Structure 1
C-alpha cells in the first residue's frame, strides 16, 4: 500500500474508508492437486496487524496479458483489500498464459477447473495458514468472500450458487459452496443463447448460465461503458444480468465511464485496460472494500456510509439494491 492517496484520486476521496495498514505478500504457496494438470499455486496478501481477519479469494480474468491472468494480477485490489482488513488469496487458474495449456472441448478456458480451484483453496485454508508463519491464528475461516473479474466473475458466480446448463446436452454443473458468505462480481457475464454474438458462442460454447439459485449476497460491479460486441450484441446492461437474474440480497454498482477494466483493477498501467484512471479505480477499491467490510465484519456500517457518500457524487457512479 502507498502512504497517501494518488494525486489524481479526485472526488473518490469522498468515499469513506477505514485506516490502512501495511501489507505483506507471500508467494507461491503450492497446494498439491493430484487430479489437476498442475499443482495449484496461490499468493496471499494480508495486513501486518490484526486478528480474526476475514478471507477474500480472487479469481482472475483471462485478458490478453502474459502475467496478469495469474496470481501476479489484481494487485490494485489485493493490496487495497488487505490493507483494510482482509486476507486475500489468489490462485493461478489453468486458463492463464502462465501455463498456456490447451483445454478440452466443452472445458474451454478450463472453466470447471477454475471452480474446483476455489473449492481446493477453501479445503486448504489450514495448509495456507501453516505455510505462512505470520498468519498463524489470524484467519477467520467462517467469514469468506469470493471475488472475480471478467471470466473470473463467472467463476465467482458459480461459487455463489449459479449453475451452468450445457447448451449441448443439458448437463447441469453446480459447484456453489456454502462456506462462502458474500461475493464481488466484477464485470460479470449475462444471458447466453441469442444474447451472445456469433463470436461469443464460438468462444464459450459450454456457456449456459442459470442465476436462479445464486442466493449468496453479492455486489455486482459494472462499467456503464463496458460494451463487448465480441461477446454480445447487447450493451453494458448485459454485464448486470447476474444482479437482475439472481435472488436477493444483491447490490448493483455502476461505475461511471468505466469499461471492462473498471479503471485498472487487473494491474497497474495495464495495456489491456481501456479506461485507466486513478479516480475510477479508487472508487472501485473503496466501494468494494466497504461492501466486503459490511458483509464480513458483523455490525460494520461501511457499505451504508459509502453508498450515502456516492449519492453525492454522480460523476463516480450509482448503486441500487434488492433484498
Structure 2
C-alpha cells in the first residue's frame, strides 16, 4: 500500500493532547477512534508519512477499523483528508482542536459527502459512497437498539452500536430496515453474530436494497440460490465472494435449475468427499455446453455415456492383444500340412531305428 503524506498544525516536540479534545470529543468517540487519534498524534512527531498497514500493525486493528477512524475524525473536523480518488487517501492534516468551533463537531457531517470503507468478513472489501448523507436524527436509535438487542438475545457492543448508526447516517438504512436486518439474521437465519449481521447489511447496501420490501425480495433469492448450494455442500455459513461468483454463474449464466445445481454439488461430494466449487463448476459447465436443461436430460446423458463405455469394452474384448512372455516372446514358425507330414515320418523312422 502506498505511503500517505502526513502533516499537522500543532508544532511540538512531545505528544500533546489538547484539553479541548478531552472535553469535547473523548466521550463521544469509541475506543478504536481514540486509539488511532493518539497513535497519529504520537507518530506525526517523528514521521512525515505513514501507511494504513503500519497503523494496523501497531494498533493491532484491521484496515476497516483504521479507515473508519479516519472517516470519523474527518467528520468531526479534526482531520483534513486529501484523496486522489474516493478509494485512495494521499494526505491527512491534523487540525488544532482549539481552533475548531464547537458546532463543527456535530454539523460537519451534514455538509460533506463522505466515503466509508467496510470489510465483509470473507477476505473482500467494499467501498460505499454516500452523496446525500442522511441526518442521524432520523434514526429512532432508542427503538433500534432495544429491538436489535432483543432480537439478537444479547447486549450490543459499542462497535455494533457504532455500526448501526453508520448504517443510517452513511448507508441510508431506515429504522424499519435495521430492525428487519436483525429479524432476518437472528430469527429467520438463526445467526446472531455481529460479523454475520454486518456482512448481510453491507451486501444489501452494495445492491442498494434500502427498503424492507427490497431486502425481503433479495432474501428470497438468497435463500433459494445460495442456501441451495451451501446446504447441498453441508456448509452452515454465508458463501464467500468467489463462491458467490460461482453461484451467480450457475443460476444466471448457465441458467441451471435448483435441482441440477444440487445434483452437481452432490456428485462433487461423492467424487471428492469435500465441497469444491471449481469441480462443481466443471460439471455444470459440461452440462451447459451439452445442452442439458433438466435432470431428465442429465439422466439420459448418463445412460448414453454408460452405453458408449460398454460398447468400447466389447470392441476391446473382441480383439485381444497377444500376451508376450519368455516362452512365446519370439516369432512363431509356420508349417504347411505337407511339411508337417514329412517331419512326422522322419521322426517315426528314427524311432524305429
TM-score under structure 2 normalisation?
0.27
Q: Which structure carries more strand by proportion?
A: 1
Q: Higher relative contact order at CA 8 Å, sep ≥6: structure 1 or structure 2? A: 1
Q: Which has the larger radius of gyration?
A: 2
TM-score under structure 1 normalisation?
0.28
Q: Which structure carries more helix by proportion?
A: 2
